[in-house]
Each structure stands twice: as structure tokens, then as C-alpha cells.
Structure 1
Amino acid sequence: MEQELADARARHMRLLQLVELGLADPTDPDFASRLRAAQRDRDIAGIGIERVRRRIGSGGTITPDKIVAFAAFMRDRIRNGDVPYRKAYIRSIVDTISVDDTQLTIVGRRDVLEARVSKATKQEATVPTGIQEWRTRQDSNL
């Protein structure tokens, strides 16, 4: 994403330099549309990076104390919660569970687990759901 932002900024700057050098007319409709497209691409890439940074959060380093707190938090929620909430807490960090004759494999995304561990507190009682920036499209969401 950062490379996309750098490319969009460079494209935007090249277009502005053409105007500064007198090689392009800013009133030309084709040039104006290219400039708007470059600005839009630059803005979209910047917003995307900010969104990712917000979702990841600062979090800080994961210490053994945070891991112990997170484990205690999850253990309590899974042992003492209602069944739908138990499932939701497990689904918040586990993507798949595979059972074989000789082994059990639990798979989850490392970044999600790190974010949950870094934010784990006893007061936290919410299960992350959905994506705030969800947008409808005009195909399957009719």
C-alpha cells in the first residue's frame, strides 16, 4: 500500500511539474481529468494506509504479562460465557480447526492475535465484529 501511495504521489507531482514547466495547460479538460484521477488515487492510497494503521493500532510490545492477561481473559470468557459468546470469542482469533487421526491443528492470523493480546484487559468485553468501512456494491448486495 505504501508503494501505491508513493507511486500516486509521484504521478501527481509529475503532472504538476508539467504545468510549472509550461508543458501542460491546466485548463485542458483531458489534463484536468488526469490530474483529478491522480489526486483521487493519491487520496485513496493515503486513506487506505491510515485505515490499516488505525486497525492495527499502536499496540506496543507484547509482554509476558499481556499474554497471561489475555489467556486469563479468554479462559474466563470461554468457560463462563453463554454459548454464542463462547463461539464468538473463539472465532475472533481462530480461523480454522483441523482434526486428524494423530494431530489437532488450530490456525489463526498472527496480526489478529497480536492485536487482541496487546489490547487485552479485564474490562474488555466486546467481540470484534464486521468491518466499519464496509460499502455496498451493486452486484450481490441487492
Structure 2
Amino acid sequence: MTHKHLLIVYHSQSGNTEKLAKSALTGAMGEGSCTTRLVKAWDANLEDLLWCDGLLIGTPENFGYMSGALKDFFDRTYYPAEPYALNKPYGVFVSAGNDGTGAIREIDRIAKGYPLRPVVQPLICRGKVTATHLAQAEELGLTLAAGLAFGIY
């Protein structure tokens, strides 16, 4: 097992996605062979992408799409990341007022170009964030961190 790095990039307007992000961080920290950074989308940059071995992306669903802050992160890093052919594993969690599928679809389309590759099922938390959602986010963080640490991804 080699030491790995997981980046959790998220945006939260109401606080729901931030709760999920912090739960994912708690889960990821359960894997001692993986260092995890939790970074707001407005603050995340190319250096964060180059540092990490895997990525967990969190967003609220806004008008059936990802948040503007997450789209901004992609806009700021897409072309600068191009020469690095990242090919890193990623997962997504969405706090959704509707069905969340539009946000997932568009994140997947953008991620393919980096390239990033999806390695876990997206987590879509519809409505108010519940204890079950938080437990699922924690499990998602642990799963991605453990998969990185054990070389599965």
C-alpha cells in the first residue's frame, strides 16, 4: 500500500452539500493511508488537482445542473490541466431538490475531457439531508480513500 491523496471539492449554498462534504471527509479520514483535503470549489485550483490521486466532487443541484461555483472550478482548471492527461478516479455527490441526474450527467461529460474516470456510483441525496444521507456520504469518502490506498482505482 502506498500513501495516496484524495481531494474533495464542493460547493454549498444552503449548507446541505457542505454537511455531505464533511461526512465524506470523515469517512475518508478513516483510511490512514490516504491524506484528504476538503476544498471549496471557489478556492480549488490546478495545484490541488495535480496533488491528488483521486477526486470527490460535491454540488447542490441548481436548475437541474451543477452549481455555478463547481462549473467555475472546471472552467478555471480544464485547459491548464490538459497537458497533464490526469486520468484520475472520481466520485460525485449531489444535494438535490429535484432528481439530481442533470448535475451528474454534466459533471460526467466535463470530467471525461480531463480525463477523469468515474469509479463509484454517484450519491444523490434528494430533499432535506438526513442522517442516512450523511452516513452514505461518509461511506462514499471511505470507499474512495480505501480504493486509492489499496490501488483498486
TM range (shorter): under 0.3
TM-score computed with the length of structure 2 as normaliser: 0.21
Q: Which has the higher strand share?
A: 2
TM score, norm. by length of structure 1: 0.22
Compare the two structures and name the one with the higher helix fraction.
1
RCO comparison, higher one (Cα < 8 Å, 6+) = 2
Structure of higher CA gyration radius: 1
